[in-house]
Amino acid sequence: MKLWSGRFDKNTDRLVDELNTSIPFDNRMFREDITGSIAHAGMLGAQGIIEPTEAEKIIRSLRDILADMDAGKVAFDIADEDIHMCVERELTARIGDTGKRLHTARSRNDQVALDIRLNMKKELAEIRRAVLDLLSVLLDIAEKNTDAVMPAYTHLQRAQPTNFAHYMMAYANMLRRDCLRLEDCAERMDECPLGSGALTSTTYPIDRERVARELGFARITQNSLDGVSDRDFALEMLSDLSILMMHLSRFSEEIILWCSWEFKFIELDDSYATGSSIMPQKKNPDIAELVRGKTGRVYGDLITLFTVMKALPLAYNKDMQEDKEPLFDAVDTVKKCLPVFAAMLSTMKLNRENMRAAANGGFINATDCADYLVKKGLPFRTAYTIVGRAVNYCIEQGKTLESLSLEEYKSFSEVFDADVYGFISLEECVSKRNVPGGPAEKPLRAQLNSISAFLAARK
């Protein structure tokens, strides 16, 4: 018999039960549900809404149920509909009518809003920690490769020289923003909705602030209608996780390219690659490919909840039961991806020689060659045209800018002199980019120190 069956003369159809139930997926919130119920029962007793002895009895039994659920001794029944009714049924079965007093001054509407916030606060903290661990890996890689010259790209074409540390710091800054977004999300999520009731609070003299403090919330929600119907925090979290996965996906694409024979900038450790069932020579970057693929899954979770919420009137609607599965799926997906991605990066080997060889091609010092002429007094657009003709000549002759003779340089402009060779060397090209954010030693060290300080502040 359903706990809400008093109004009904018939049992719900089996097919309705199968569609209506959420316990197959919301049972993972049993700890949060029981924790919230313990705080609620304590408040009811303290406020004299129920007898203090009854509150104590409820709390003791709830703690026993929590221990039994942790030990896998309590079955989750589809007839219970959700984890809230499962816990209440188990409580009533153990202590009788006293257990029926727990739901005083509370609705499943504010109860589920509480459980999701408690659960997502915990998950956010774990994901944030994993992001920081990955950020630490990037910092370590960057510290060891400040002198590893490589080409940077636009349009996937070699563009200008940089170093591997500078490249890693680009992704480090993305992850720092991801961490800050998660922290902002956690701050906005840190509101206790319990006490909102079904939608217009309750007539009982409850103490919402007491419950919020006991559950570790910074504050209570300010409006009971909003308290039960708000899922902005869930959408914000899914949005933040989607951006995080987008960053991992972009990084994965680079890893996949760098592993290819066409690049061969890195080699993944055997523990983080797979082979082919038919081609014995293959070593596939499947981890990076899976992370790239799972990004779409997290995007889908975000769009799912946006679509669920887009036309719902206040307050709670059963549609909102669809909030949990995309949330849980996105959380589980991100939590699987982050640690394996960090391990994959920390064990990969760099092929500095191939990076350097790639940087030698593609005329990535052409901009520096133009800058050389500008420093000699030519307007930039004039210098740009001169170097463009020189590059075209090199392509026709199978040469590089470094291999042109001074006579050949002077055929394009008498401004060229012997010092051009030092000016366009790759190491010089990198070291001259000595502005904040650039790859030269001083600005690069500032970037490394900034990320290091960011991590140290969060230990």
Active-site residue set = 155, 276
> What is the Cβ-side half-sphere exposure of residue 257, based on CA atoms within 13 angstroms?
10
SS3 228: helix
Burial class (CB in 10 A: 0-12, 13-18, 19+), 19: exposed
For residue 121 the two structure tokens come to: 């606060």
d(CA 313, CA 302): 20
d(CA 142, CA 148): 10
Tokens 């944030």 correspond to 128
Integer-rounded Cα Rg, in Å, for the chain is: 30
- Angle ∠(11,16,18) on CA atoms, nearest 5: 115
Q: Do you find a cis peptide bond into 357, omega within 30 degrees of 0?
A: no
Contacts of 321 (CB under 8 A, 6+ apart): 22
d(CA 167, CA 141): 10
For residue 46 the two structure tokens come to: 């303290």
Tokens 């002199």 correspond to 417
**Strands 266-267, 349-350: parallel, antiparallel or unpaired by DSSP?**
antiparallel
State which amino acid sits at residue 425. Answer: S
